[in-house]
Amino acid sequence: INMVQIGGMDSTLVDFEIPRKYGLNFTIADTTGPGGLFRALRTYPLMKGLCRDMQEVCPQAWLLNYSNPMSMNMQTMARAGNGVKGVGLCHSVQGTFNQLMGYIGEKPAECEFICAGINHMAFYLRMRKDGKDLYPRLWKAMERLEVYDTNKVRFELMKMLGYFVTESSEHSAEYCPYFIPRGKDVIEKYAVPMDEYLRRCDGIVDEFERMKTFAKTEEPMHVHRSHEYGSTIIHAMVTGKPAVVYGNMVNGGAISNLPASAIAEAPTLVDRAGCQLTTVGELPPQIVAYVMPHVQQH
């Protein structure tokens, strides 16, 4: 399981400071754009070395990658991994679905969905309960200010593109030209939290210190399964009991109107044979147009 952030807080600070000198400002900067690109470049040697070690020590093992930038890191595996098997994992698909079901008062376990695209820019193509489309209820929920105000950027993207996107409003604001480049008034109108990731990383550094201290005490640790996909994948591979997760792998035609070599995020079947993307078919053309500039950078 790969969960590294090469360079830590110091390098992340540079990801924001250098672009800022040239008038480019960001919220998260870990996926695409200058911050994502340079994070990928400093993670590349680790990813390549990790795959080389796996090839020597455990050639049949699967690498579960949680590290961003997800798509570019998985491109590293595809191009330089020498056949090592891996899948990229994020929590935005299942996390956002839970949030959306909260908006309309439904239990996620009683509903079903299909989502596809690329990491952080996948879209819920279908959401249903008992065969009935749930999108009309989401459009209705958006009209309530207490709902709209929690996700202004993503609801605006839904108005433009017709579908809800997986990654948070603070991430999504920097993936397209509709928000940050339009200036201070638009940033304030849609509550875009500039430099949000720096504040988050500050908190994470403090959390690491608390965890180190906690680990040395006799206080018991509560262990439970989270909504992360890692344990589900391990269970399915070991027992053979099939599961469906959302993974990031080489597209290979799963999404028919994205390049075959792109890293797609789509429904992924897991069993003793490992992980394999399922066939989604075509994405709506406006979504392809939205994600393709990022696919090209990856």
List the catalytic residues.
Answer: 91
Amino acid identity at 82 = N
CA 91 to chain centre: 6
Q: What is the CA radius of gyration of the chain?
A: 20
Residues across the chain: 298
d(CA 184, CA 205): 30
CB atoms under 10 Å from CB of 61, counted, come to: 13
Q: Buried b vs exposed e over 204-220: b needs ≥16 C-beta within 10 Å?
A: eeeeeeeeeeeeeeeee
- Provide the terminal-to-terminal Cα distance of the chain, rounded to the nearest Å: 22
Would you put residue 8 in left (φ > 0), alpha (ψ -120 to 50) or beta?
left
Q: Are strands 132-133 and 243-250 parallel, antiparallel or unpaired?
A: unpaired
CB 62 within 8 A of CB 87: yes
